[in-house]
Structure 1
Amino acid sequence: MKFSEFSPEQWYDLLPYMDTCLIPVSGLTGEEPPHEATERIAGTGDWLQPLEAAFRGRSVTMPANHYVDVTNEDDIRRVSGLCERMRGLGFAFVVVVSGRADWAAVPEDADLLIKPEEAGAEPDPDKLRQAIMALWKREAGAK
């Protein structure tokens, strides 16, 4: 579900079931012309959509972070801080999703970074679902 689909009452009632936070990061730097910005945002949506469809009822997609330079370690630290704050809201799992392959590092406080392995790669919905389920299984096995 998207963050905008909850009323305050629903959120607190559903929180025990909504344990996974999806944070979209488009990776814009502010140097892209409009058509390139559109492509990058759509690319992130391509990687996000299979997860939203598969895990509706267990995941919450938070607002997209567009202007984050994924090749800049300071920006990645800011994403990590955001992940930490999402965990403070009650999410057990925080997953960063991006259409950009060129991340400098995985955000430290993210449980998982979903992204293409190389530029131009298309998402494999089955592989994406398996990555999230593997994350849940690891946590269940650790308890």
Structure 2
Amino acid sequence: MKFSDLSPQQWAELQPYLDTAVIPYTGLSGGEMPYEATEALEKLRDVLDLIEIPFKGRIVTYPANHYGAWDSGGVAQAAAMSLKLKQCGFKFIVIVAAFSVEEGAASQVNADLIVSLKQDGAMPEGAEVNDAVRMMWLGR
């Protein structure tokens, strides 16, 4: 579900079932041509679809962070947001990126899982993402 789909009454009712927050990152610098920004947003949409569609009844997707490099500042922002969402009651935090994030970065940002493009820029496989989310929920 999208954050905007939940009224206060619905949130109170559904919160026990919606235990996973998804934080999208586009990774724009502000120096992109319009078509480059469009391409990045399309990549983010495609990666988000790998989680939002199959797991609709258990996740809440927050607004995307469009601008900011995945450097020390971006990592610090992601870590702070992940921590705050856990304090709000989410058990799991998934970061979805329209760019490649190095393996093992989840622990740097207080996230349980990062789903991103592969090192070569290719999309992750749907089955691979599905397995990673399920393994996260199982605590493995």
Contact 2:92–2:112 (8 Å) recurs in 1: yes
1:110 match: 111
Deviation per CA, 1:47-73: give whole Å up to 9, x if none: 111210111110011101101211x11
Shift of 1:136: 0.7
Contact map agreement 1:24 1:96 (CA 8 A) in 2: yes
Q: Percent identity?
A: 37
RMSD: 1.6
Count of matched residue positions in the alignment of Structure 1 and Structure 2: 138
Counterpart code for 1:50: L
Which structure 1 residue ranges, 5 or more long, are not aligned? none
1:54/1:44 Cα in 2 relative to 1: closer, same or farther (>3 Å)? same
Q: Per residue, is there more strand in 1 or in 2?
A: 2
Match of 2:78 in 1: 79
Alignment match, 1:38: 38
Mapping of 1:51-62 within 5 angstroms?
51-62=51-62
Query: Runs of 4 or more off by more than 2 Å in structure 1?
Result: 102-108
Task: State the distance in 1 between where 2:77 and 2:109 align.
Answer: 10
TM-score, normalisation: structure 2? 0.92
Q: CA deviation at 1:124?
A: 1.1
Secondary structure class of the residue paired with 1:26: strand
Q: Which amino acid aligns with 1:53?
A: I
1:69, 1:103 → 2: CA distance?
14
Q: Counterpart amino acid of 1:135?
A: M
Q: Which runs of 5+ in 2 are unaligned?
A: none
Measured in 1, the distance between the counterparts of 2:101 and 2:53 equals 25
Q: Match for residue 129 of structure 2?
A: 128
Question: Which position in structure 1 is the counterpart of 2:96?
Answer: 97
**Deviation digits for residues 21-79 of structure 1, max 9, x if unmatched?**
11100011111111111111110111111210111110011101101211x11211111
Quote the offset at 1:103 in angstroms. Answer: 5.3
Query: Do 1:26 and 1:66's aligned partners in 2 also have CA atoms closer than 8 Å?
Result: yes
* Structure 1 contact 102–119 (Cα < 8 Å) conserved: no
Is the Cα–Cα contact under 8 Å of residues 100 and 119 in structure 1 kept in the other structure?
A: no
Please tell me the residue identity of whatever aligns with 2:62.
Answer: M
Contact 1:46 1:123 in 2 (8 A): no
Alpha-carbon distance in structure 2 between the residues aligned to 1:119 and 1:38: 20
